[in-house]
Structure 1
Amino acid sequence: MRCLVTGGTGLVGSNLTLALQEQGHEVIITGHESEQVIPGFKGKCLYPGFIGIDWDAIGNIDVLFHQAAINGTRVNDEKEIMRANLESSKHLFNYVIAHGCKKIVYASSTAIYGNNPAPYHESDPPDPQTPYAKAKLLLDDFSMELAAKDSSLTIVGLRYCNIFGPRENHKGTRATMVYQFAQQMQKGNPKLFKFGDQKRDYIYIKDVVKANILASKANESCIVNCGSGTATSFNRIVEQLNFVLGMNRKPEYIENPFQGEYQNHTECDMSLAKEKIGFVPEYSFEKGLMDYYDSGFLI
């Protein structure tokens, strides 16, 4: 199978690329050397990334895994977000379809649920609070309209929750609080927004890779949540990091500068993902964290 992974040097893209390669597939990626160089990658990498790629070098592919995006949820330049995350995605989808691709899997986001109460269901009314969320919602709409027009296409959108795991270290302040707390704890006590009871649905990267591969084999187009189905508090993260790292750091609580626009509780209902693509998360937060530590990427 010949696959194109956009954002192939990012967190999801790099792990997915290595998994596809291990399964024996031919993989082409787009990416940025500034993110990371993937050790052992044998395929073709098109630089400088998704924007400005060499379309002729792509040719015909069997499956598109579209992970590339401006993923800063606090980027407020709506025009640029729409250009990069929506219009460029439309161009990409139309290109690969015109060149014979019938399977598309792409990264959506639970950001589209905004201030809806958790757990999130795919049937919940959207409440996008940021340009990033708006662009993801519009891409969902475009994708399902595209699929409805052509029964030979299968397009699956995965609404990612908070993904953590190896190869996120290049993301800086966009890395998960799991990674950021681990880094802080190397030097002193971690700083949490008052009073650390904010919760996130943390899904481990290996489960996200599994969801993408299952989605590429789906029999019908759909949009499904991609989370663990369980929310973990920031206090719990620090508690588990202390256990894994052999430390006894104490949280230091600070004011939340994003109060009023901050999602205090994200959590996904995962029943539709099981029904539509057969995806059931394997990693609990604790199991994923231990695997993350064993990988050598956490600290």
Structure 2
Amino acid sequence: MGTKINLSISHPMAAELLEKAKHMLADYEIRFSANHSKSTLTYVNQQAGIQPVSVDSELYDLIQFGQNYSLSSKLALNITIGPLVKLWKIGFADAHVPKQKEIDERLKLIDPTDIVLDDAKKTVYLTKKGMELDLGALAKGYFADKLKQFFQNEGVKSGIVDLGGNVLTIGENPKYEDGYWRVGIQKPSSTRGELVGAVLVKDKSVVTSGIYERSLNVSEKKYHHIFDSTTGYPIENELASITIISDESLDGELWTTWLFGHNSNAAIDYIDSVPGIEALLITKNNEVKMSHGILPYVVLF
């Protein structure tokens, strides 16, 4: 999955449950990853413009969910972004700034309306050769929610699922009298592990997405991995990172992706009108902005 994973639970059979969770994650990767050569999703991409591919119900549902939000968000989220991601390769050793002609060619392949889904047969068909689905903006949230559901069904009352920038807490933290989990917020301009503060949560998801996670520096210009589907280039605005606090991790994934297309003030104003969702934003000049509901639960260092 390209990240460091930490799972911690309190349960009499913790070792056995954690082993099962490890196998769950391995299974998800072999089905959902766009970077795994033998994953089901990779096969869907390989058959683009050739034939529909039958997939399991979980993968089908997430693709359908992603298509719906790609369209309703006006491409703020775009699960057909794969050809653009593979072109830039930001985060990989061979990352580079593509030629404009190459970008223009890829833009023709990132239209979610070109995904054809058959609910009865559970098939996925990408109508243009060269199309590629990439569920990276949704998958970790989906996996985290599934793991929490599994743990709770097994009787886990306290625990934490940390999928690298995507943290989902279960119940209360037994190490603190107040029961709150302390989830650190990375300082964008610093080395990994240096925090700007922490958010206190119980039974909540904390998802952070930032331009510092994967980047490319060329001729004193920095390119990050969050793309604008209309231009083919990384989004350019004042934001360095977005943290979303919500009940479910998948919601956190959606909101971090969607808000990156807005300036910080507009993003906070919007979140303040949405029940059950809170946000902490950090700008490129290290200014921290928060929605009203989360103010009492954030400690800045």
Same fold (TM > 0.5): no
| Structure having the larger proportion of residues in strand | 2
Per the normalisation by structure 2, the TM-score is 0.28
Per the normalisation by structure 1, the TM-score is 0.28
| Structure having the larger proportion of residues in helix | 1
